[in-house]
Amino acid sequence: MSTEPKSTSRVPAPPTTSETSPALRRAHRRRGAFAYLTLSPTLAVVGLLMAYPLYVAIDLSLRGGQISDLLNLDQNPLTFDNYGEILTDPGLVNDIVRSMVYTLGVVLPAFGIGLGLAVLLNKAFPGRRIIRPLVLLPWAVPGVVVSAAFSWMLDASYGVVNYLLRTVGVIDGNVAWLVDSDTAMFAVILPTIWKYYPFFVLILLAQLQSVPGELYEAARMDGASPLRQFAHVTWPAVRAASSLAIVITGIGVFREFDFIFPLTGGGPNDATQTLAIRIYNEAFQFFEMGIAAALGIVTMAICGALLAAAGRSVRREFG
């Protein structure tokens, strides 16, 4: 008995990579070109707004002599004397240290307060809708207004801070917070914390809102204490956002000017003179525009180095 071969239907093989790669590459190039084309107006404006002021600052920092006319900078010789002067100045190290102390003194407490309030506001309790906007209110107040308010509160004669501390027995007499070298740094850190902690509350609370409640319920059913719930549920959820918020806030505080200058002007005895205050003093008190520009470039380089160092940690968290 003869049998005929059965016909089998074959599925056509998918095209090989060599067959599809030229078309895919062309499509990818077209999409990339279209994306850059649509973004080009925005990139041009942003580039102009960033590149030209940076160019002027670098050019100004490389000009020697007394600069009295910014429109005729080319009349001053190009030199590295400004950088040599500030880099050999022992006071620069002190200014950097004070900037770091000020930054850490603001960021760490502000983050702690923001994290605690975010965890609290993430829970349901009566009046939460009223308290939430009140907690975020300091973020909307201009820094100069905050400085004026705290200058009254910290006044050595009639300040409410001294009154409260005397009432509870912490101090016996009034403390001159803003004119004492031992307390001036604390006096400028305090209003800056009050201004910046709402940013941490906003970022961390938004992150906590995305955590499913079932995770906390499962942790409670497993007998986890509130501390263990925080360590194994809350903190992993906000760790990446915390890293990003700390980096952004740290860079902002490092170059902060609005609180220190109205309160102390960098004094007393340079106790609160950070890099931002030093730049202002060099430019508008001593009229050393080239020195001020060089200090600005050095400050930008320090911020860039700190951002690059912290960026690796942020990328690991989001990766």
State both tokens at 14: 């998918």
- pLDDT class of 296 with cuts at 50, 70, 90: very high
Instruction: Tell me which architecture the domain covering 81-318 has in CATH.
Output: Orthogonal Bundle (1.10)
**Residues with Cβ < 8 Å from 107, sequence gap 6 or more?**
196, 246, 249, 250, 253
Backbone φ and ψ for 130, nearest 5 degrees, come out as -85, -40
Cβ atoms of 256 and 102 closer than 8 Å? yes
Q: Where along the chain do its domains lie?
A: 81-318
- pLDDT class of 37 with cuts at 50, 70, 90: confident
Higher pLDDT: 180 or 28? It is 180
Higher pLDDT: 52 or 4? It is 52
Q: Is the pLDDT of residue 6 over 70?
A: no
Mean pLDDT of 277-282: 93
Q: Rounded CA gap, 143 and 133, in Å?
A: 18
Q: What is the pLDDT of residue 295?
A: 94
What is the rounded end-to-end Cα distance, in angstroms, of the chain? Answer: 67
**Residues with Cβ < 8 Å from 273, sequence gap 6 or more?**
94, 95, 98, 266, 267, 281
- pLDDT class of 74 with cuts at 50, 70, 90: confident
Q: What is the pLDDT of residue 152?
A: 93
Q: What is the pLDDT of residue 30?
A: 84
Mean pLDDT across the chain: 86
- pLDDT class of 13 with cuts at 50, 70, 90: low
pLDDT one-digit tens code per residue, 83-142: 999 999 989 999 999 999 999 999 999 999 999 999 999 888 888 888 888 888 898 888
